[in-house]
A and B are shown apart, each in its own frame.
Chain A
Amino acid sequence: MSGPPPDGVPVLEVSDLSVRIAGLHILQGVSFTVAPSGVTVLLGRNGVGKTTTLRAVLGLTPRGGEVRGTVRMGDRLLGGEPTHRLVRGGLGYVPEDRCVFAGLTVTENLRLAERRSGTPAYDRVFELFPELNRRGRQRAGSLSGGQQQMLAIGRVLLNDNRLLLVDEPTKGLAPKVVTEVAEVLERVAVAVPVLLVEQNLAVVRRLARDAVVLAAGRVAWAGDANELLREPELTRSLLGVGTVASSDGAEVVGP
């Protein structure tokens, strides 16, 4: 374990988080912090509890699931509050598999994400994704995977957030689109801190400042992301048999 993030008070503090779903202990006392700027990446093999962690922070653990431990955003204790209030308090969520509303148009998807507090920043969204402006009347279900991802990111950028939770934004996308998504997240992270779950190590290398590695429901390593990626041995021992080349030539965590 290495020390806390270098600068300032963390934006998110997770301590001793345990999640049990249907009798399975998915997380067993996870503690980490998210730095107030830049990208903190959550790594680990498949099924280790990365998505469960993000969802527990958001209060989206399925009914019957048991959550213990504390999650703090600044001086605010998040546990027990309903999801919609947490989100309004400045948590933006880009879920795994995008989850745009397929039957709604692009414009409707964006309009749904508007929050009553503050004016929605359409100029910011359309500057990053001019495509969304052009395709306003198209149903989100007919967009390509990359465009859907842009929409999923775009709708959280309509509002000012204190922290973004982004779950595998490059999953299943073509290499060129992966690069575009990475570029966008790089620009976004200048303004707002991001807690990112990502399997593509090239993307991690490009974006991450801090890294938290989960293994067997616990934090196995936390610290400077570059430090982790510089050491192939360390990476291999923490993330699997090593980094394997995926079909597009990018390194991914495997298997």
Chain B
Amino acid sequence: MSTIVLLTLTGLGLAALYFLVASGLSLVFGLADVLNFAHGLFLSVGAYATWWAAGNLPGAGPSGFGFVLAVAVGVLAGAVVGMAVELIMIRPLYSRTIEQVLVTVGLSLAGVALLQATWGADARPFPRPDWTQRVTPVLGAKVPNSGLLLILAAVVVLAALLGFLRYTRYGLVIRAGVENREMVTALGIDVRKAFTLVFAIGGAAAALAGALGGVYFGSVSPGQGGSLLIFAFIVVVIGGMGSVVGSAYAAVAVGLLQQFVNYYGTSGAGDVCVVALLAIVLLLRPQGIAGRAATT
């Protein structure tokens, strides 16, 4: 029983990580039709900015309020990089899919190389507040607090995103734009501003994943974002391109499946099962769980 609880909660922790990356990816794809391969870079930027801030920024540190400040710096860095990527590299290339793929793939490679050149290719120990290194007993299982922190963060981000999409003007524009971008412009709305905003939100969420993922794994390395991105893309496709709620469901399914199969089967079989799940969803329901709607 306690094993199942532990696997469920660590699986949900993994799901939380996927969701934080996938939600932004999904909105960017749904609204702007951009397959953003540089999204993993936002995660790495968040992780490294948090790591750097905890060590170097006055007031920030590896524990307590200092750590919160360091994570805030990381999230801000992710948002700024996301925004800059949209304004400088994506904006001139809207509706030119192949060029976009090339530029975002190139950017992700260059970004990783830049991080390696600056801080080396080896994994660096990540600052971890004492609390996150302890465990909490849940129904007999000893669950690492860092996993619970990820779950909590993902739930807060999900609620905040849904609130933003449902109750604000920009949220309305984004939901409408995911359905029919051209018609939004034909109502007199500059939809490109919403694109920039979505990139910033996606960058911030991915950066948060980077910072909290760093705490969860205990280290940070330049290639981390890229390997998580693959599963985030799978989550986006299973959830339905453009749907935040769909991404949440899909992230939970993928995280749990991976964790359970990796434990009860051979290690690595979970990843294969995830790809199999992707194939099944694509065959039976190609539009994904939620279809093309931002908040359903």
Contacts and interface: CB of A to CB of B under 8 A. Distances in A.
Interface of A: 58, 60, 63, 82-85, 87-88, 93, 95, 99, 101-104, 108, 111-113, 115, 155, 159
Given A60-B182, A63-B95, A104 B187 contact: no
Contacts of B113: none
Contact of A108 (B172, B187, B293): B172
A159 B173 CA distance: 18
B135 to A, nearest CB: 42
Q: Which of B95, B176, B184 has the most CB of A within 10 A?
A: B176
B175 interface: yes
B274 interface: no
Contacts of B96: 63
B190 A112 contact: no
Nearest to A102: B179
B188 A101 contact: no
A101 B190 CA distance: 17
B188 A115 contact: yes
Contacts of A104: 172, 175-176, 179
B102 interface: no
Given A63-B95, A112-B173, A101 B186 contact: no
A84 B173 contact: no
Nearest to A99: B183
A103 B187 contact: no
A87 B182 CA distance: 12
B133 interface: no
Contact of B179 (A58, A101, A115): A101
B179 A112 contact: no
A78 B80 CA distance: 35
Given A63-B95, A104-B172, A111-B172, A87 B186 contact: yes
B180 A101 contact: yes
19 contacts: A60-B186, A63-B96, A82-B185, A82-B190, A87-B187, A99-B180, A99-B186, A101-B179, A102-B179, A103-B175, A103-B293, A103-B295, A103-B296, A104-B172, A108-B175, A112-B176, A112-B189, A115-B188, A159-B188
B191 interface: yes
A101 B174 CA distance: 12
